């Protein structure tokens, strides 16, 4: 894995801050009721624009946010992954989401693992969580592949305060021991 402060190269992916040309992929993801079932549900294109700009704005305000996940072989936007810690969030999170057309190919795990290195090595975080609905078995499997464990139920801020969410996670020492670093 190669990286600088804002760009990460993995075997198959480029992770980088969102760019304007990523919006069509973002909107496709946000419109997919299957892929967004556990993250607030499908959004119309105008609402997707606002959530896309929120992510880009977080890069400006915080200096980090989720990366656009770009498939290196095609140059296409295929998902989002990485650090997320907006106001009121239960803790520092690594999240992920992949277009249906690219689900089940290991991209979420590959991108999330690179994001784990990034938050511990570059941002200096001491721990991470993954906010996962108890019925989201696919994300639970990704979390397990990363070495995270279910830490119990957590509470999300509005407008998600009524959704059931478990915090899966680990600390920097656990991650580094597991990854042999």
Task: With a cut of 90, say whether residue 14 has pLDDT above it.
Answer: yes
Q: How sure is the predictor about 63, in pLDDT bands with cuts at 50, 70 and 90? A: very high
Domain membership flag for residue 23: yes
The domain total for the chain is 1
Q: Which residues contact 91 (CB under 8 A, 6 or more apart)?
A: 85, 127, 128, 129, 154, 167, 169
Q: Is 106 inside a domain boundary?
A: yes
Model pLDDT, residue 4:
60
The answer to whether position 82 is within a domain reads yes
Domain with 73, as residue range(s), is 2-126
pLDDT in tens, 15-48: 999 999 999 998 887 787 677 676 766 678 898 8
Residue 136 included in any domain? no
181 occurs within a structural domain: no
Whether residue 180 lies inside any domain: the answer is no
Give the pair of three-digit tokens for residue 124.
């200096």
For the full predicted model, state whether its pTM sits above 0.85. Answer: yes
Residue 161 falls within a domain, yes or no? no
pLDDT at 39: 72
* 97 inside domain: yes
CATH number of the domain that residue 36 is part of: 3.40.630.30
Which ranges of the chain would DSSP assign to H, the alpha helix? 23-31, 45-62, 107-121, 137-145, 172-178
Residue 1 has pLDDT above 70, yes or no: no
Q: 124-174 pLDDT, tens per residue?
A: 999 999 999 999 999 999 999 999 999 999 999 998 888 889 999 999 999
């Amino acid at each position: 894995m190669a990286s600088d402060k804002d760009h990460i190269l993995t075997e198959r992916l480029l992770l980088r801050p969102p760019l304007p040309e990523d919006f069509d992929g973002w909107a496709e993801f946000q419109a997919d009721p299957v892929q967004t079932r556990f993250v607030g549900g499908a959004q119309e294109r105008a609402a997707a624009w606002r959530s896309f700009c929120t992510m880009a704005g977080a890069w400006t305000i915080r200096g980090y946010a989720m990366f656009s996940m770009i498939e290196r072989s095609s140059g296409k936007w295929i998902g989002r992954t990485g650090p997320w810690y907006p106001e009121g969030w239960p803790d520092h999170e690594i999240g992920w989401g992949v277009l249906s057309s690219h689900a089940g190919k290991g991209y979420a795990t590959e991108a999330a693992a690179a994001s784990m290195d990034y938050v511990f090595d570059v941002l200096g975080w001491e721990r991470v969580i993954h906010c996962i609905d108890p019925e989201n078995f696919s994300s639970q499997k990704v979390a397990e592949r990363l070495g995270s464990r279910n830490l119990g139920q957590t509470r999300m801020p509005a407008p998600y305060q009524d959704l059931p969410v478990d915090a899966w996670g680990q600390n920097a020492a656990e991650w580094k021991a597991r990854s042999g670093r």
